[in-house]
Structure 1
Amino acid sequence: MSYDPNQRPAYGQQPYGQPPVVPSQPTSPYVPQGYGQPAYPVQAHPPKKRKWPWIVLGIFVIGALGCVGLFTLVLGGTAKVAGDLDDNQKGKNAAAGVMNKPITDGKFQFTVTGMKCGVPTVGGEIGQKAQGQFCLIDVSIKNVGTAAEVFTDLSQAVYDAEGNQYSADSGASVYANADYQTFLTEINPGNTVKGKLVFDLPAGTKPASILLHESTFTEGVKIPLK
């Protein structure tokens, strides 16, 4: 069979003298080994809870409870001290004494030796006039302690028959004790001073007893005035 170079091959046929073309197969993209496994979604871990706010809160609560306990303790102690002082000033804890016989409270030993009422003024013309009447109580005070102590009339009082309490008149006491230069001053250990405690009472009222203290912190002694 002769070959005519000018003859065209029929449609669908390969040109003469050329090898048949094998259609290429579709290829899948290259997947490296280890990456062919199906991917699973990574599970997110919940955020760690912070512990420090609870620690701070616990410290705060403990501190608050401690403060409350301390405040209660201090308040209770303060209330007790105040109650004791009030009882002392009212003579609820006072020891009983009698006139002209020594009795001790704290570092002072007291002896009540006399009383005079119905005095209108003390200190003369330049002195002090009573609102009602002055009652003057004669007292001797001995320091039985080991250090110097000052006696004042601030913690001293008298009571009438009805239980009314009358405080000492400090201004009138200054005038009434002009002749007792050592009274209401510092008393050394072993020394004794004498003086007059002055009380301004309603006219006609007579003191039934006197309450004497070394200080507001002592229980005091109560002596009937007869």
Structure 2
Amino acid sequence: MGESAPRAVIAIGAALQEQIEHGLLVPGAKLPAERNLSELFQTTRITLREALLQLEAQGLVYREDRRGWFISPPRLTYDLNERSHFHAMVLQQGRLPATELISARALAAPATICDRLGLAPLARVYRISRARRIDGRLVLYVEHYLNPAYFPGLLAHDLSQPLTELYARAYGIEYGQVRFELLPTALPPEAAGALRVSRGSPGLRITRINHDRQGRRIDCDLEYWRHDAIRVVTTVSQ
């Protein structure tokens, strides 16, 4: 990269950011191909790609494999104090949710899941993998690990529906205490593939260990979010 390249990266980023802030590039809009953008800004594709990557790190644009670059929509507010499920949370903020079931099966629990759910070594669990969209955009890959002792016959149900509602309707189980763990991460292969991004793309992993009203650890969710999709908030009272 030549001596002027860093200044070119800053200038390209500033130009695109200005277009976004003035509403000329609207959320969800597809940017021109990198070749066309590099010709527009009279620079190399390497310099252009560096500018786009910096905007991606700021959450202003995002990339999908084999589809190109897009303007990022507003972030969803993820309130740790709220007990609503994904569909309710998205709908409450005027957005459109969708869930796609990827797989559901019983298997031997990984060691970390045994620990989080207080299970014996090599205990069996249900694992449900799903991809979730907001306004048509893939934003979340989640693996749900459930203790089958509390959910007999679960795999026969429609598992694209909110599990919170299924638990209450079919099993009389409601959530009680929830423990959260948030960790910036590189998206693992399963999550990257489901979200149609490159392996190792930045993401946010939210681990939820869910108890029922009797204090039993009933399931554990591993949520892998696109890093630009949510804003996490919480309120602490004295």
> Which TM-score bucket, shorter chain as reference?
under 0.3
Q: For CA contacts below 8 A with separation 6 or more, give which structure has more relative contact order.
A: 1
The structure with more radius of gyration: 1
Q: Which has the higher strand share?
A: 2
What TM-score, normalized to structure 2?
Answer: 0.25
Q: Which has the higher helix share?
A: 2
What TM-score, normalized to structure 1?
Answer: 0.26
